Amino acid sequence: MTAKDLISYELSPLRTSDTGEESITMMGIFHVKHLPIVNDVQFLGLISEDDILNHEMEEPIGSYSLGLARPFCYETEHIFEVMSKMANGNLTVIPVVDSEDNYIGLIKMEDLVLYYAKSFSFSEPGSILVISTSKPNYSLAEISRIVESENASILSTFLTSTEDSNEVQVTLKINKRDINSIISAFQRFDYVITASFSEYEYIDDMKDRYDALMSYLNV
């Protein structure tokens, strides 16, 4: 999955001739706090709601004195990179450009979140196991080998760590309802079991979260 697969064409970019009021109205309609400014196909920068509110609403945004940020992603970039750029910039949208840096569309955070929500293994039976180990000792190959030694498989995995810690947490979705033997196996290899969730607890919790997300996005 690359950036071009999630481009939204329903939301048009702003022009320098658009007023602050028109820009704020557009943001409100689509529930975003950022919009790209484009001159024909040239991407000029990203303007935020705060940028507009700090200027005269009746004036065209092209007259604003702004040091516009220019975050963007290429249409060929992987979705993981897109998510990283949006998170680092705390953005609600990110412009997408082609190989010649021409603007072709944007990706909304809403669509990116929906993609992840729908792509996660909701329908697969199994359980969740969270283990902790030191960064030098982390090995996905070893973790997979331990799980497979108990006649199970890893359906998905997430890695969580911070720069100021030597620990790493690994969240595993495993295709087995009873994971007591897997927990024992990890403990024999000196992994710390941070948390575990049965299939039913996991499905109920994730369903509640998913329903809450859908309710929020439909507001």
- Each residue's pLDDT tens digit, 95-150: 999 999 999 999 999 898 888 777 666 557 788 899 999 999 999 999 999 999 99
b/e burial code for range 56-77 (CB count within 10 A of at least 16 → b): eeeebbeebebeeeebbbbeeb
Residue from 26, 109, 95, 93 nearest 61 by CA:
26
Contact 95, 103 (CB under 8 A): yes
Residues 173 and 92 in one domain: no
Specify the pLDDT at position 210: 65
Residues 111 and 176 in one domain: no
Specify the pLDDT at position 120: 60
The tokens for 173 are 């979705």
| Cβ neighbours around 131 below 10 Å, total | 23
**CATH number of the domain bearing residue 162:** 3.30.2130.10
Residues 69 and 105 in one domain: yes
**CATH number of the domain bearing residue 96:** 3.10.580.10
Residues 12 and 51 in one domain: yes
Please report the sign of the dihedral spanned by the C-alpha atoms of residue 152, residue 191, residue 199, residue 160.
Answer: negative
b/e burial code for range 90-108 (CB count within 10 A of at least 16 → b): ebbbbbbbeeeeebbbbbb
- Whether residue 104 is contained in a domain is answered as yes
Specify the pLDDT at position 161: 83
Residues 155 and 73 in one domain: no
Specify the pLDDT at position 108: 95
- Alpha helix ranges (H) inside the chain: 20-30, 49-53, 79-89, 109-119, 140-149, 180-188, 199-217
Residues 98 and 39 in one domain: yes
Placement of tokens 């064409």 in the chain: 9
**How many alpha carbons fall within 13 Å on the CB side of residue 17?**
2
pTM score, whole prediction: 0.68
Q: Which of 116, 138, 158 is the last residue of a domain?
A: 116
- Whether residue 145 is contained in a domain is answered as yes
Specify the pLDDT at position 147: 97
Number of H helices, E strands in the chain: 7, 9
Residues 34 and 80 in one domain: yes
Contact 195, 130 (CB under 8 A): yes
Residues 135 and 111 in one domain: no
- Whether residue 122 is contained in a domain is answered as no
Residues 9 and 110 in one domain: yes
Computed over its alpha carbons, how large is the radius of gyration of the chain? 22
Specify the pLDDT at position 90: 93
Residues 105 and 134 in one domain: no
Residue from 96, 68, 70 nearest 81 by CA:
96
- Whether residue 14 is contained in a domain is answered as yes
Q: Which of 61, 93, 116 is the last residue of a domain?
A: 116
- Whether residue 149 is contained in a domain is answered as yes
What's the domain range around 163? 127-215
Distance, in Å, from the CA atom of 2 to the CA atom of 118, rounded to the nearest integer, reads 16
The tokens for 40 are 């024909």
Residues 108 and 144 in one domain: no
| Residue ranges of the chain with per-residue pLDDT less than 70 | 119-123, 198-211, 213-214, 216-219
Contact 108, 176 (CB under 8 A): no
Residues 47 and 91 in one domain: yes
- Whether residue 121 is contained in a domain is answered as no
Q: How many domains does the chain have?
A: 2
